[in-house]
Amino acid sequence: MKKIKIGIIGGAGYTGGELIRILLRHPNAEITYVHSKSSAGKPLYSVHNDLIGETDLTFADSFQEPVDVVFLCVGHGEAKVFLADNPAILQTKVIDLSQDFRDESNGFVYGLPELNKARIQNAQHIANPGCFATAIQLALLPLPQNGLLKEEVHISAITGSTGAGQKLADTVHFTWRNNNISVYKAFTHQHLKEIRQSLTQLQNNFSEKIRFIPYRGNFTRGILASVYTTFDGTLEEAKKYYSDFYQNHPFTHVVDSEIDVKLVTNTNKCLLHLEQHEDQLLITSVIDNLTKGASGQAVQNMNLLFGLDEKAGLDLKPVAF
Catalytic residues: 131
- 73-99 in b/e form (b: 16+ CB < 10 A) is bbbeeebbebbeeeeebeeebbbbbbb
Spatial contact of 194 and 129, defined as CB atoms under 8 Å apart: yes
For the chain, helix, strand, coil in percent to 5 are 35, 20, 45
Q: Which of 150, 161, 169, 148 is nearest to 223 (CA)?
A: 161
Q: Which of 137, 88, 152, 169 is nearest to 272 (CA)?
A: 137
Q: Which of 76, 189, 208 is nearest to 140 (CA)?
A: 208
To 5 degrees, how large is the angle CA 123–CA 69–CA 269? 75
Residue 312 belongs to what H/E stretch? none
To 5 degrees, how large is the angle CA 57–CA 131–CA 124? 65
Q: Which of 146, 173, 134 is nearest to 292 (CA)?
A: 134
Q: Which of 291, 259, 20 is nearest to 134 (CA)?
A: 291
Q: How far apart are CA 263 and CA 286, in angstroms?
A: 8
Q: What is the largest CA-CA distance in the chain?
A: 60
- Counting DSSP H helices and E strands in the chain, the numbers are 10, 13
Spatial contact of 223 and 160, defined as CB atoms under 8 Å apart: yes
